[in-house]
Structure 1
Amino acid sequence: MIMLSCLPECDEEDESNRNQPESVTEEKPKEKESFFLSWYKHHLRNFYQAFKFPKGSSHVKPDDDDGLERNPMQSKEEATIIVQQAIIIPEISDPSLLLTEQCRRSLYTSLPALVQGRKWVLLYSTWRHGISLSTLYRKSLLWPGLSLLVVGDRKGSVFGGLVEAPLLPTDNKYQGTNSTFVFSDKSGQPTIYRPTGANRFYTLCSKDFLALGGGGRFALYLDSELLHGSSACSETYGNSCLANSQDFDVKEVELWGFVYGSKYDEILALSRTTESICRWS
């Protein structure tokens, strides 16, 4: 009897609970992606498609899951430039007379990871330190490791290579490692030539000349006065002629070092000490 008398109360309580409105937690609307993130994803997708599908391919399927607008598929070169422009490159100590911003971005992405992120210091230049191969060798002692040698000829070509510093004159003995490369910039987009593995003739330093590559012909040759040079196919890098012609007249030479932030001010001050300066028109 006691149990039966409790049943109505339980039923009333259950009925009361059923009539009680359930609490609803409203979901906050998902925040929209920032404009920059959407832009980056959009161009990254174009970059992927440009490499995965050849131009004119009918196999590219639109993907509208993220609601982004689609542009016509870009070429590999355009996609590469877009990705490079999104990369933040390190500080440069002085304006270069040879490297454009786009050229420097392209070369930066080709550098070994070991030196990426370091600041660029102009260790040597003909316009500041004078026309002298011995001075170039001496300035390369300021910062050991990978350095970028850049040469400009009087026909407007820019070329050079990644070398191992310090550059020390030796008797027909090559130096350097397979981290080096040579490059040519004739059209605003540098072409990189890396070691083929055919030999180890990376850099040859002499009191009379500086040469990169070997095996038949030098990829790049500069005389002791840094006035004349030549370029030809080399077995070391498998390159074509880096300049517009095999023989050329030098206009400017620059050597860039990649320096830690903690040493930047010290090396910068040392690099700006001048010796005999000679300029030409």
Structure 2
Amino acid sequence: MSRRFVVGKMKTPGTGGKDLRAGYKYSMITTREETSLKQNTTTKPDLEPETFRPNLSEQSDLLQTDQIEKLAKNLPPRTVGYPWTLIYSTAKHGMSLKTLYRSMTGVDTPMLLVIKDSDGQIFKWTGDNMFFIKGDMDSLAFGGGGGEIGLWLDGDLYHGRSHSCKTFDNHILSKKEDFYVQDIEIWAFE
């Protein structure tokens, strides 16, 4: 099992309980759904707003369609309606914090970082502090407070560590405190 860090109904016309076909010898009343099925087409259910189905520059290796839709619903309003552009992926660019930083150079938009290890889960900001992200050439850290870091990655993007922290009020994000990174993707909203 792998974890990722980081979320239509059809109305059928009713007949009011009456059998409308009774008394009709040669004609039959059918619903739109029945007619569509006979014509080998299906009626489309009401779709959710397109704002929750973002346009991705390419397919994600880490996120499934339902996960992308859940994430899109929970992202800040300023990201809604913008296409997701993949700016970094360990599968394409290799495992290097320096390469990750280089790929982000000149990008001045909100970004989404997706990390996959052998376990993992999603967490949210509590509002208790502003310790979102700290990075240098040796490591990248997310969240803090109480002397702990919510998520820490080494400079090779190979080793990670997770603790509970006040920023996200999270449990550790892996089954173990220390873990190995399998893949990372960074998406920009531009």
Q: Same fold (TM over 0.5)?
A: yes
SS in 2 for 1:106: helix
- In 1, the alpha carbon distance for the partners of 2:174 and 2:49 equals 28
Task: Give the secondary-structure state (helix, strand or coil) at the position aligned to 1:107.
Answer: helix
TM-score, length-scaled by structure 2: 0.71
The residue aligned with 1:114 is 78
Match of 2:64 in 1: 100
SS in 2 for 1:104: helix
Give per-residue Cα distances to partners, 1:39-80, cap 9 Å, x unaligned: 2x79xxxxxxxxxxxxxxxxxxxxxxx9599xxxxxxxxxxx
Deviations 1:193-239 (A, max 9, x none): 12x23222110111110000011211111000011101110111111
Instruction: State yes or no: 1:253 paired with 2:184.
Output: yes
Residue 151 (1) aligns with residue 115 (2): yes
The offset of 1:145, in angstroms, is 2.4
**In structure 2, which of residues 127, 132, 135 is the aligned counterpart of residue 205 of structure 1?**
135
Q: Which has the higher contact order (CA 8 A, sep 6+)?
A: 2
- CA apart distance, 1:129: 1.1
**Inter-partner Cα distance in structure 2 for 1:248 and 1:112:** 29
Residue 24 of structure 2 corresponds to none
For residue 171 of structure 2, what is the aligned residue in structure 1?
240
Q: 2 CA distance for matches of 1:87 and 1:212?
A: 31
1:147 and 1:201 mapped to 2: Cα distance?
A: 16
SS across alignment from 2:67: helix
Alpha-carbon distance between aligned partners in 2 of 1:209 and 1:68, rounded to the nearest angstrom: 65
Contact 1:123 1:142 in 2 (8 A): no
Matches within 5 A, 1:21-60: 39=10
Letter in 2 for 1:136: L
For the structure 1 residues 247 and 86, does the alpha-carbon distance in structure 2 shift closer, same or farther, using more than 3 Å as the test? same
The answer to whether the 8 A contact 1:233-1:239 is kept is: yes
TM-score (norm 1): 0.49
Change (3 A) 1:67 1:130: same
Residues 186-197 of structure 1 mapped to structure 2, 5 A cutoff: 191-194=122-125, 196-197=126-127
RMSD (Å) for aligned C-alpha atoms: 2.4
Gaps in structure 2 of 5+ consecutive residues: 1-7, 17-46
Q: Do the aligned residues in 1 keep the contact of 2:123 with 2:168 (CA within 8 Å)?
A: no
Question: Which amino acid in the other structure matches residue 206 of structure 1?
Answer: D
1:110 deviates by: 0.4
Identity %: 37
Secondary structure at the aligned position of 1:193 is classed as coil
